[in-house]
Structure formats: C-alpha cells, structure tokens
Amino acid sequence: MTAPTLPPHSSPATPDPATEAHPGTGTDTDQHGSAPGESLHPQVIAWFDEHARDLPWRRPDAGAWGVMVSEFMLQQTPVSRVLPVYEQWLARWPRPADLAKEAPGEAVRAWGRLGYPRRALRLHGAAVAITERHGGDVPTDHAQLLALPGIGEYTAAAVASFAYGQRHAVLDTNVRRVLARAVTGTQYPPNATTAAERRLARALLPEDEGTAARWAAASMELGALVCTAKNESCHRCPIAAQCAWRLAGKPEHEGPPRRGQTYAGTDRQVRGKLLAVLREAHAPVPQGALDRVWHEPVQRSRALDGLVSDGLVEPMPGGLYRLPLT
C-alpha cells in the first residue's frame, strides 16, 4: 500500500522504543561504528524531497484525522482510486465526531467502490471510539491508537508517524520490498511480515525523530514509485549503487509463487454488486432486487449471508435488506 507522508519539514515515523540489533550482526552498528541505515538515509530522503507526490493527506492541513482516513482507504487500494473518495469523505466528515454521529451504513455508502468495505465499518468504529474516549481528537499515543477498534500494528505506527512525527517503524508492502532488495538482497519480502523484518526496520531507523519520520515516508514513496513490484526503475533509484539485490545480479524470487488477486466471478464481485444496490437505495431493498444482480443463486446467497455476518448488511422483516443503522 502507498501510505501517506508529510511535507518536507513535517515528521512522519516512529519505531518501537526498544532498539534491536541488525539481524546477523549482534549489534546496532556496522563494522565501521555507524548505524546500519546511515548510508541509505541521506540519499533516500533527498530523493523524496525532490520527487514526493503532492497528495492531500501529506499537507499540513490534513491533520491526524486526514492521515487516519487515508491509511484506512489506501490499504490494498491505489492512490488514483482513493483520491476522489478521500476528498468527499473529508468534506462531509472533517472530524471523527462528524462521522460518529452518522449510522455505520452511511460510511459504507460513502465508501463507494473502494473495495474491502469492512474498512468503512472499522473506520466508523474508530471515529466513535475517538469521540467517546479522546474528546474527538485522534490520540497521539501509539498504545492508545493501537487500542482503537480497527487499528492494527501497521496503522497505529503509520498514524503516529505520519500525523505526529514520532519514531516508529512503518512497514507496509512498499517499505518491506525496498528493505528486502536494498538490504537483504531478495526480490520480494515474505508474504507476511516477519519478526526479522521488524528487527531490521527498527535497526535502520535514524535516532532523530524528525529524520526517522522522514525516512519512513521516503522509503515508502521509493517503493511506490521506483522500487515497484514489477518493472522496477533502478536507473532512477538513489541507492541503486548500494542495493544488495541489484549488486547480486537481481536473483529471481525463490519462495512460494506470488499469485495475483482475481476478482471476476468471485464472491468478492458478488458482494460488491449486492452492496452497490443497497448503497444506491435510500429505503430497504426487497430480496428480488438483490436476486437480479447475480445469476447463480447459491453463490449469491453465500455472498449475501457473508455481508450480513460482517455487519455490512442488515436484514429486516419481510425479506428486506438495508445498510446497517447501528
């Protein structure tokens, strides 16, 4: 995912307080006595200062809530699809309390076709908790962020970093790929984040909070724009001369095959079609209207049951359905 970052003189990143050794070295400095990432930080940050995209959640007026909204929306969704929905969302709900006042179904409706609509429910739940527990302000404390519903390890670190300039290791797919190639010499990171990756990310963090925040933002952008999953642009990379994977001759990935996600014909597609009907309706929808969106009754029924189970659809008496009110 392409996560948000702040402008040049704002801070975005915070690692866990504990400093752990660089894997395989037994120390947090290299053989010359410098921190492991010191040779990478200046080049990547300088590149970012020149090439960072101007995105709304990176602007100072976005605030912590804007950063949090972007983090939820950008999970597994490209920036181009997020931008219009993000702008509409913030115009309608500029603060968590504004969203918390609405029914959760309105969040699902406004989510549109971003996909993975449970994110909308989780963001609504986080807004309610922020309003009730923190007076409507996104908390600055990492532990308090992590305690919010729908907030996991990555999102808590990202919001603390990108919104408040704290020093956290922010490990999204882009950062993991940059570290895998530049430091460990492998084409792709493991399918799931490992403890070794977390140790490496923490070991590479600059000690200074502002620089660490900038490094988190810059390394993420590098993965999004240059060190991409396919057709990487090594000729544009500021650390190509130090990249372990490139220097090793770009060895092919040796792990399990990396399967692309399919959509056509899947339950996800059916769920999306069913939700589209409910989003466009402002009154309860009869079963017959839902039956028309997909020809195969068993799959259609399974998809609808899944939406109800996930809290995205609320069944009503008389075979009617609506987006959730509570």
Nearest CA-CA partner of 52 in 101, 13, 3, 1: 3
Angstrom distances, CA of residue 270 to CA of 24, 113, 267, 275: 48, 13, 5, 9
Nearest CA-CA partner of 48 in 242, 218, 171, 235: 218
Nearest CA-CA partner of 202 in 13, 19, 4: 19
Angstrom distances, CA of residue 66 to CA of 74, 82, 134, 310: 12, 13, 16, 26
Rounded CA gap, 37 and 120, in Å?
37
Rounded CA gap, 32 and 293, in Å?
65
Which residue of the set 38, 71, 87, 296 is catalytic? 71
Residues 6+ apart with CB under 8 A from 251: 185, 186, 187, 245
**Residue 102 known to be catalytic:** no
Query: Active-site positions?
Result: 71
